[in-house]
Homo-oligomer: A and B are copies of this chain.
Amino acid sequence: MSAWLDRVRWDENGLVPVIAQDAESGEVLMLAWMNRAALEATVVSGQAVYWSRSRGRLWRKGESSGHTQRVRAILLDCDADAIVLKVEQVGGIACHTGRRSCFYQRLNDGSWETVVPVLKEPESIYGGGSSDE
């Protein structure tokens, strides 16, 4: 069952950038990375599994926060080196800062301005422990 995995043009580190997009609203939630094992685990489980570059291990989105992502569709681009995941974001919070989306800073007149509110304080998401995402 690896022909579809071979179609992906993995980069020199064996990774591909993955855009998680809210399947309903179309909002871009985050950009993360997958290796072959992560993409396979995502397909098998129906939940987003990424490769954490900082921790060097597979990371099931929401494994500590509970904010998992149910995968509705997986799309590959024309040159097969980027993926879009259309997801249902459980809990409505994708960002470890407690925001709906990680893309909450908007360039305005030469500075980055925060434009997306915090819905839940990180302490209450992660219970004072370290965040997983």
Contact = CB atoms under 8 A, between A and B. Distances in A.
Interface of A: 1, 3-4, 7, 17, 19, 21, 25-28, 30-31, 43, 73-80, 82, 84, 95-97, 99, 102-107, 110-112, 115
Given A27-B26, A84-B28, A78 B107 contact: no
Contacts of A112: 4, 7, 76
Given A75-B103, A78-B97, A28 B21 contact: yes
Contacts of A84: 28, 103
State the copy count for this chain. Answer: 2
Nearest to A79: B102
Contacts of A111: 3-4
